Every structure is written in structure tokens, then in C-alpha cells.
Amino acid sequence: MREIVLINITGVDRPGLTAAITGVLAQGGVNILDIGQAVIHDTLSFGILVEIPDTEQGKSVLKDILFKGYELDQQVRFTPVSEEDYQQWVGNQGKKRHIVTLLTRKVTAGQLQAVSSITAKYGLNIDHIDRLSGRMPLDTPADKGKGCIEFSVRGEAADPQSLRAEFLSVAQELNVDIAFQEDSLFRRNRRLAVFDMDSTLIEAEVIDELAKAAGVGDKVSEITERAMAGELDFRASFKERLALLKGLDVGVLDSIGASLRLTEGAETLFAELKRLGYKTAILSGGFTYFAKQLQAKLGIDYVFANELEVVDGKVTGVAIEPIVDAQRKADLLKELAHKEGLRLEQTIAVGDGANDLPMLAIAGLGVAFRAKPLVKQSARQAISTLGLDGVLYLLGFRDRDGQL
């Protein structure tokens, strides 16, 4: 009678070990039903689920594996599996899978305990855990670290909305980011990424910088803050702020542009997206003058932003239509996806303000980046602890995959 056995092998990793073990199994005419291998700090954990035939060669295979393990200085354990349990395991393969991604400056046991407890609470089983971030020296400064752990989980969440709310609450409490997304073909096949500019690609709101130069900085900053938090209509607030810039000398644009700082991780993110064949775009409620500078610096394919009307070297304070507002951003994302022959599921959108929410909602991956509380709560994913290159982790990208 055939046997189904789970073989677990642990010990110091070495070249040729897998070949040696599977060589013994091959001699016994064994069928492989499942297999998995992981190496942590040069220590191997190797599991093989096998079907052993009722033959002369098959009868001695477990003994031969035991001897081979001893020869290779490995610990070997056998666990019999009933056909009933195996069939139940086969039946579970149709269950939905999701990816839970933990992003933090430094991974702690408390963070992992929180994530794993919540997944268990909502009926999700962890199948795999992988570290996507690179190895960090022990003396890495607290604000320079990068840690990412990816959990592959199986099952249907009992209450998806409450699950997300609990992840968000724990993320705020522990100062981490926790992303929860369906593991689908589209997650691994995205090809268009669009970005807000101000406070997303750059560490400033350009209209506030212009306002400081015009002597109305405090008034404009207050309006900007309320608009980004969703307290004011963006279109109306934009026109109001722009009117306050009337008479500003266009000569200040160059100096402001030269002072703008890229957000942490922006250069890495765009270099990797370009290497992976992505098309990229700026969809901004800011100004084309500055967006074009970023386009040249980062190699961005498309730019859509607002035009500053200038007459006789002075800003007129009049908005030129069409204004790139919340709905315009969402419409542009759809147009670009159509132009590139892509489904919306294959797109990524990243932004920080309330006027970014419509495009974040329709993108395959919508990320609120260092956003206001309302935006973080409304968006499906959020990154606040790491730089922009943290978006790569949500795609399953590993640091060792990079070329930088």
C-alpha cells in the first residue's frame, strides 16, 4: 500500500544537499506532492511531501533518507499523512490568497506578533513569510533603516473592513505600515505608475513656496493644509490661492525650483520602475514649470499639471483651464491606461492629499504616501514610515533584485 509522508530536514546548509536527498528519493521511485526550502543564517529548513509506492525500492526509501541525512549531518523527521488529510489539503488550494506587507525602519518581534495575531483573528492562515529588505548592519541609524517582511496568507477574511481598520490602528500604534492586498496575476503584472508631485515626489507644496516669495505665505499655507486634508474643495481653494500670487515676479521660479528636494527614495523608485519597463507620469495639482524639471531629472514619461499664466514677467493669478483637480487626475489615469493598452488593475497611483483619493481608488495599487489621517483611512494602502521606494516592496520587489 502506498504511503504519504512529510519529510523535514534541518541542519547547516551546503551545496549539493538537495540533489543528494532527491537522488535517494529518485531511486525509490517516489512522487513529489509538495516541496519547500528556506535558508536562514546558513541554516536549512527543507520539507518534502512524498508519495512512496508499494514496491521493493519504495520500502527502503525512508531508511535510506535517514542514513543520507546522518551522512550529511542533518536532522531528519518523518510525519505520516493520511490520504484523507491529503485530499483535504488539496481541496484548500482554491482558497483566496492575500499578501500582508509589513514596512518599518527596524523589524521587531512585537510587530510580527501583532500582524500574525490579527491575521489569525480573522481566519487567515500564514503559508509563507519572506524578508524582502536587505541585510542591515546592527549599528544602522534609526532613521536610515529599511525593513520589510511579506506574509502570504490563505483564506477569506471574516470581516475585511474590520481587518483593514485593525491593521491601520496597530500600524499607527507601532509606527509601521501594514499593507493588505489580494495576491493576483495583476499584482505581478503592473506597468503604469502615476504620482502626485507636491509632498509626494518633492518635500514641499510649491504653491506655498511661491506664496512665501509673494509675502502671503501664512494665508496660502493655511488654505493648502485644509485643502489637502479634505476640508476644502480643491478647485475652489486652488483658484483662491492662485489669486493671492498676482503680481509675483516670474524670476523667483528658478530659485524655488533649484531649492526643491526630492522625497526620500524617489530616485531609486523611478530607476527601478524604468528598468522593469514601467511607464510613469506626474498627475499634479501643482505647476507644470516644476513638474517638467522633475521629468528631466527622473526620466518620467508623462506630465500633467497646471499652467501658471504669466504676462509681462508677472504671475496674473488667473487659473488656466483645465485645472488638474481630483476628478481630472482620475480621468487622466484612465486615459493613460487606455493609451498604453493596460487595464486599471495594472496601474499604480501614489499621492498624499484628498484630491488624490479618486485616482488612488481606481488604480490597481493605490498608495497614500505620508498622507493626512483622512487620506490614510480612505486609501487601501499607505506608506508613512519609509521613503517612496517602499512602493517597490508592495510589488514583491526584493532589495537584492535592485541594480542600484
**Catalytic site positions:** 196, 198
Confirm if 166 and 118 have CB atoms less than 8 A apart: yes
Q: At what angle do helices 160-174 and 109-121 cross, to 10 degrees?
A: 170
Nearest by Cα to 68 from 26, 14, 105, 17? 17
Q: What is the DSSP string of 232-292?
A: S-HHHHHHHHHHTTTT-BTTHHHHHHHH--BPTTHHHHHHHHHHTT-EEEEEEEEEHHHHH
Q: What are phi and psi of 315, to 5 degrees?
A: -70, 130
Q: How many residues does the chain have?
A: 404
For 212-216, which contacts have Cβ atoms below 8 Å and span 24 or more sequence positions? 213/248, 213/252, 213/256, 214/244, 214/245, 214/247, 214/248, 216/244, 216/245
Does residue 328 contact residue 322 with C-beta atoms inside 8 Å?
Answer: yes
Specify the amino acid at residue 346: Q
396 three-state secondary structure: coil
| Cβ pair 278, 346 in contact under 8 A | no
C-alpha to C-alpha distances, 135 to 207, 347, 386, 398, nearest whole angstrom:
40, 30, 16, 11
Grid cell of 358 as nine digits:
479618486
Find residue 20's DSSP bridge partners: none
User: Are the C-beta atoms of 326 and 234 separated by less than 8 Å?
Assistant: yes
Say how far apart CA 278 and CA 298 lie, in whole Å. Answer: 13
How does DSSP classify residue 199? T
Which region, left, alpha or beta, applies to residue 107 given φ > 0 means left and ψ of -120 to 50 means alpha? beta
